[in-house]
Chain A
Amino acid sequence: MCKYSHEGKIKCLLPLILLFFIVFLALSNSLQAQNTTKAQVTDTSKVQHKDTTKAQLADTSNDTLKHQLPDSLIYKKIIFTTEEFIRGERLFYGLVYLGDQLVNCAACHNTTVSDTLNWNPDALEISIKYLNKSAYDLSKVLLRPIGKTMKLVHKEFKLTAEDIVLIKAYMNKFETIGLKQSKPVITNLLLLIIAFILFLVATTDLIIKKIFKNRRITWAVITVTGVFITWILAVNAIAFGRSKGYAPAQPIKFSHAVHAGQNKTDCNYCHYTAKISKTAGIPPGSICLNCHFLVRNGTRSGTAEIAKVLGAIDQNKPVQWVRIYRLPDFVFFSHEQHVSAGGINCEACHGNVKEMNRLYQVPDLSMGWCIDCHKARKVNLSNEYYKTYYPDFVSSFKAGKIDSVMIASIGGKDCGKCHY
């Protein structure tokens, strides 16, 4: 029998509150899927930019003066006080009231890494672009915009030359630090640790200390945390080394939704080796040029992103895409086999790419995923090859004894079909 004192009640409630907290966190956490992916994205962009920055930063300090236009001394300014820096920052974030308008650069030009596709160039991209240019060049874009979209957005800014110099001075910061992570996330690890501590406390209490007189609560805590720990461990163990949903930021904001969806470009137009080679291939710059030789303006990104492609071709530097679909090298996978011989649609594995602005990995690419498909997919028995080597299947199919033959029945589950 347990006597309920006031104190006892609080003691009983404490673990319940903690439990509730955990469940809440767990749920909210699982809703914002793919923490791990995010982390990866951030890393990439950081690494990617840092390299280039350092080299170029050195250039700037020496060359800034040379590149400046002589018409205004303001633009030549290279040394700033802390106050001026802060003003630059406030200007960038729209915290300075300029007459009747608020100009918030950060509203469109991300200063943090974002999950969603923002067609506007982010702060980092702009800062890189204007690193070797003077603030005067920047002022041209801000005060006298040319492009259609830009005209619409950069309307009648009342920025002074000093302001622009300060904005640029502030923006140069992104060169060195890169973009911030969007928001700090409580990782599952933290939750796991809390759960584990609770579990331990409850167990020890059950055996040794007996602070909580009501055994049921202790048992409930043990059960719930136990289930939670097992679940987290199992989920993470299964996802270990896999990257389902991986959607890294690409060097060019290329949208499959625009190309394959709206413009209805056939997958095989760009990924032309999918039918003839084991690899589907990333299209070479020359393929992009087929259209973008003429098409130089996009509806969303203006010219910025297309210019990157053209620039890469001009400079003869390949675009370094971040690879998404990746099988370990002990797996032999041939696109030709699946697309040409098997007649499988691209969507079967890659999902509805036509609706993806930012491409992400649809399947988990686990062996079970492969096998499940091999078990469920039918063989095209009209092929001469099968007629020659699988006459038994073909004849019983014709006789109506079987309605289909699955890949697995012709050796699609043999280990050595993929691993050699």
Chain B
Amino acid sequence: MLQSPIRTPLIEGSKTYRSITSDILSPMMNKAGKFWYLGMTISSLAMLFGVFMIFWTVWQGIGTWGENRTVGWAFEITTFVWWIGIGHAGTFISAILLLFRQKWRNSINRSAEAMTIFAVICAALFPLIHLGRPLLTFFIFPYPNTRGLWVNFNSPLVWDVFAISTYFTISLVFWYVGLIPDIGTLRDKIKKGLKKNIYNFLSFGWKGSARDWHRHEITSIMLAAIATPLVLSVHSIVSMDFASSIVPGWHTTIFPPYFVAGAIFSGFAMVQTLLIITRKAMGLEDFITASHIENMNKILIATGSIVGLAYITEMFMAWYSGVEYEHYAFMNRATGPYWWAYMIMIGCNVVSSQLLWIKKLRKSLAFTFFLSIVINIGMWFERFVIIVTSLHRDYLTSSWTMYKPTIVEFGLLIGTLGIFFTAFLLFIRIFPVISISEVKSILKIGDKHQHKSDPGHE
């Protein structure tokens, strides 16, 4: 393992262990500010709006959406894939960067993981409500029943169920295992009362013993080791919803890596959005430093370029395959009635992320924030382009039609954004957004007292 001889410190400001604790725990110990309440109000209103739209959809039927005979999936699966994609950054940061020993991740992994969990919850909502008969969702699970029936293991949707539920479970467990020592800190910081009891309950009796730390680290690294293929598999399987079908524009073998890259791209963009707000709002500039943002921007360049490459490859393969349906499907994407969506996709994802080659922009927080939102919009449109433009003009020209979303569908998107931000706002008030113990362990990096070894690797 190569280490650069001089490292820039990962944490800025002169920090002691004690000040780290008090800095990070301050939101939990103090009253929330005006902006928190404002954000909470807005996001819960959005959530309520979404809940009403869910109720309306379930009661009245999927007909309230703009979908039709030809376009059977549109807004909802677009948003589903978008959220699942966002949900990839968290585990990517915690697992893959942990395996690659990117120490800077320690400041951001907690919030990224939380984001993952909330994003997966938002995502999982869509497959549920997009069912024609959501009350029969339990049909999807292979449970023993009096009909003697199981499920169709050929179907990518069943794979999805397994992949997403596994991903959610493992992410949640990973996140919680990491939280246990920090909850211990919280428990010890709070003097008494119900709050203390609750944290006590949640801390699982963490005492910080060397053996516990050892097992904790081994478990973390092993979870990271299995979460790494998991994170790659989840979006691969989601992409198989499309790739294993017969629809021109969906039926492409490039989808798994393309989707994974896209997912990490959008996930990091969302992490950027959240962290830039969080560090500002919660005064965590010392922990989430400009170099964190820059590092993530570098990942954005990389994944953005992969995504761009995938776009080009798709086009090339469509032409090279010689299949007229493929050929038409891709021409239709770029030049058909939904050309604007395609242009938004290219503009927001490929062109904008290339701007990050400029160091000045890469280091600019304002630009990064703006860009992260642009990328998220772009990635939403990527899925929209894949789903809608492929479906609306498929094989039989007689069935070609257009798709127009309705207010209900927008409501669902807004609603999940509401759920997401409500959950995130609650999270920052309840649990430390930065992993205290992990940050403490990297406090001295860039210091004189540099440690040569890494945990759990001997």
Give me the 3 closest cross-chain CB pairs, A-B, nearest first.
Answer: A366-B146, A367-B147, A368-B148
* Binary per-residue interface labels of chain B (193-207) against chain A in the complex, 1 for a CB within 8 Å, 0 otherwise: 000000001000000
A336 within 8 A of partner (CB) = no
Number of interface residues, chain A, beta carbon within 8 A = 11
Q: Interface of A with B (CB < 8 Å)? A: 207-208, 238, 242, 364, 366-369, 371-372
Question: Could you list 15 A-B pairs, sorted by A, with CB under 8 Å?
Answer: A207-B201, A208-B201, A238-B146, A242-B146, A364-B146, A366-B147, A367-B146, A367-B147, A367-B148, A368-B145, A368-B146, A368-B147, A368-B148, A371-B147, A371-B148
B210 within 8 A of partner (CB) = no
B135 within 8 A of partner (CB) = no
Chain B residues contacting A242 (CB-CB under 8 Å) are 146
Task: Give A369 to B147 CA distance when docked, in angstroms.
Answer: 8
Chain B residues contacting A371 (CB-CB under 8 Å) are 147-148
Write the nearest CB–CB distance from B378 to chain A, whole angstroms.
44
Task: Give A69 to B201 CA distance when docked, in angstroms.
Answer: 84
Chain A residues contacting B147 (CB-CB under 8 Å) are 366-368, 371
Task: Give A11 to B102 CA distance when docked, in angstroms.
Answer: 56
Chain B residues contacting A366 (CB-CB under 8 Å) are 146-147
B38 within 8 A of partner (CB) = no
User: Nearest B residue to A367 by beta-carbon distance?
Assistant: B147
Write the nearest CB–CB distance from B133 to chain A, whole angstroms.
13
Q: Report whether over half of chain A's contact residues are helix, strand or loop; otherwise say mixed.
A: helix
Task: Give A242 to B145 CA distance when docked, in angstroms.
Answer: 13
Contact between chains at A367 and B201 (CB < 8 Å):
no
Chain A residues contacting B148 (CB-CB under 8 Å) are 367-368, 371-372
* Binary per-residue interface labels of chain B (117-155) against chain A in the complex, 1 for a CB within 8 Å, 0 otherwise: 000000000000000000000000000011111000000
Write the nearest CB–CB distance from B192 to chain A, whole angstroms.
16
Task: Give A242 to B146 CA distance when docked, in angstroms.
Answer: 11
Task: Give A207 to B201 CA distance when docked, in angstroms.
Answer: 9
User: Nearest A residue to B200 by beta-carbon distance?
Assistant: A208
Chain B residues contacting A208 (CB-CB under 8 Å) are 201
Task: Give A372 to B146 CA distance when docked, in angstroms.
Answer: 11
Chain B residues contacting A369 (CB-CB under 8 Å) are 146
Q: Report whether over half of chain B's contact residues are helix, strand or loop; otherwise say mixed.
A: loop
Task: Give A366 to B148 CA distance when docked, in angstroms.
Answer: 9
Write the nearest CB–CB distance from A312 to chain B, whole angstroms.
38
Write the nearest CB–CB distance from B154 to chain A, whole angstroms.
15
Write the nearest CB–CB distance from A205 to chain B, whole angstroms.
14
Chain B residues contacting A207 (CB-CB under 8 Å) are 201
Further 17 A-B residue pairs, CB within 8 A, beyond A364-B146, A366-B147? A207-B201, A208-B201, A238-B146, A242-B146, A366-B146, A367-B146, A367-B147, A367-B148, A367-B149, A368-B145, A368-B146, A368-B147, A368-B148, A369-B146, A371-B147, A371-B148, A372-B148
Task: Give A238 to B146 CA distance when docked, in angstroms.
Answer: 7
Task: Give A369 to B149 CA distance when docked, in angstroms.
Answer: 12
- Of B147, B148, B149, B201, which is in contact with the most chain A CB atoms at under 10 Å from its CB? B148
* Binary per-residue interface labels of chain B (367-383) against chain A in the complex, 1 for a CB within 8 Å, 0 otherwise: 00000000000000000
Write the nearest CB–CB distance from A168 to chain B, whole angstroms.
51
Task: Give A369 to B145 CA distance when docked, in angstroms.
Answer: 11
Task: Give A208 to B145 CA distance when docked, in angstroms.
Answer: 37
Write the nearest CB–CB distance from B86 to chain A, whole angstroms.
35
User: Nearest A residue to B148 by beta-carbon distance?
Assistant: A368
Task: Give A368 to B146 CA distance when docked, in angstroms.
Answer: 5
Task: Give A346 to B18 CA distance when docked, in angstroms.
Answer: 83
Task: Give A368 to B150 CA distance when docked, in angstroms.
Answer: 12
- Of B145, B146, B148, B201, which is in contact with the most chain A CB atoms at under 10 Å from its CB? B146
Write the nearest CB–CB distance from B152 to chain A, whole angstroms.
12
Write the nearest CB–CB distance from A247 to chain B, whole angstroms.
21
User: Nearest A residue to B146 by beta-carbon distance?
Assistant: A366
Task: Give A371 to B145 CA distance when docked, in angstroms.
Answer: 13
Chain A residues contacting B149 (CB-CB under 8 Å) are 367
User: Nearest B residue to A208 by beta-carbon distance?
Assistant: B201
Task: Give A372 to B149 CA distance when docked, in angstroms.
Answer: 12
Chain B residues contacting A238 (CB-CB under 8 Å) are 146
Write the nearest CB–CB distance from A363 to chain B, whole angstroms.
11
Task: Give A238 to B148 CA distance when docked, in angstroms.
Answer: 12
Task: Give A207 to B198 CA distance when docked, in angstroms.
Answer: 12
Task: Give A367 to B149 CA distance when docked, in angstroms.
Answer: 9
Task: Give A201 to B145 CA distance when docked, in angstroms.
Answer: 32
Chain B residues contacting A364 (CB-CB under 8 Å) are 146
Write the nearest CB–CB distance from A193 to chain B, whole angstroms.
24
Write the nearest CB–CB distance from A339 to chain B, whole angstroms.
24
Write the nearest CB–CB distance from A406 to chain B, whole angstroms.
15
Task: Give A235 to B146 CA distance when docked, in angstroms.
Answer: 11
Write the nearest CB–CB distance from A358 to chain B, whole angstroms.
26
Chain A residues contacting B146 (CB-CB under 8 Å) are 238, 242, 364, 366-369
User: Nearest B residue to A234 by beta-carbon distance?
Assistant: B144
Task: Give A204 to B152 CA distance when docked, in angstroms.
Answer: 40
User: Nearest B residue to A364 by beta-carbon distance?
Assistant: B146
Task: Give A368 to B148 CA distance when docked, in angstroms.
Answer: 5
Task: Give A372 to B148 CA distance when docked, in angstroms.
Answer: 9
Task: Give A369 to B148 CA distance when docked, in angstroms.
Answer: 9
Write the nearest CB–CB distance from A253 to chain B, whole angstroms.
33
Write the nearest CB–CB distance from A308 to chain B, whole angstroms.
38
User: Nearest B residue to A239 by beta-carbon distance?
Assistant: B146
User: Nearest B residue to A238 by beta-carbon distance?
Assistant: B146
Write the nearest CB–CB distance from A411 to chain B, whole angstroms.
16
Write the nearest CB–CB distance from A413 to chain B, whole angstroms.
9
Chain B residues contacting A368 (CB-CB under 8 Å) are 145-148
Write the nearest CB–CB distance from B383 to chain A, whole angstroms.
34
Write the nearest CB–CB distance from A369 to chain B, whole angstroms.
8
Task: Give A366 to B147 CA distance when docked, in angstroms.
Answer: 6
User: Nearest B residue to A241 by beta-carbon distance?
Assistant: B146
Write the nearest CB–CB distance from A420 to chain B, whole angstroms.
17
User: Nearest B residue to A240 by beta-carbon distance?
Assistant: B146
Contacts of B280-315 to chain A: CB distance below 8 A = none
Chain A residues contacting B201 (CB-CB under 8 Å) are 207-208
Task: Give A208 to B194 CA distance when docked, in angstroms.
Answer: 13
* Binary per-residue interface labels of chain B (143-174) against chain A in the complex, 1 for a CB within 8 Å, 0 otherwise: 00111110000000000000000000000000
Write the nearest CB–CB distance from B132 to chain A, whole angstroms.
15
Write the nearest CB–CB distance from B440 to chain A, whole angstroms.
30
Write the nearest CB–CB distance from B270 to chain A, whole angstroms.
36
Contacts of B234-248 to chain A: CB distance below 8 A = none
Write the nearest CB–CB distance from A349 to chain B, whole angstroms.
16
Write the nearest CB–CB distance from B213 to chain A, whole angstroms.
24
Task: Give A146 to B105 CA distance when docked, in angstroms.
Answer: 100
Chain B residues contacting A367 (CB-CB under 8 Å) are 146-149
Task: Give A312 to B21 CA distance when docked, in angstroms.
Answer: 88
Task: Give A144 to B21 CA distance when docked, in angstroms.
Answer: 100
- Of A368, A369, A372, which is in contact with the most chain B CB atoms at under 10 Å from its CB? A368
Write the nearest CB–CB distance from B196 to chain A, whole angstroms.
13
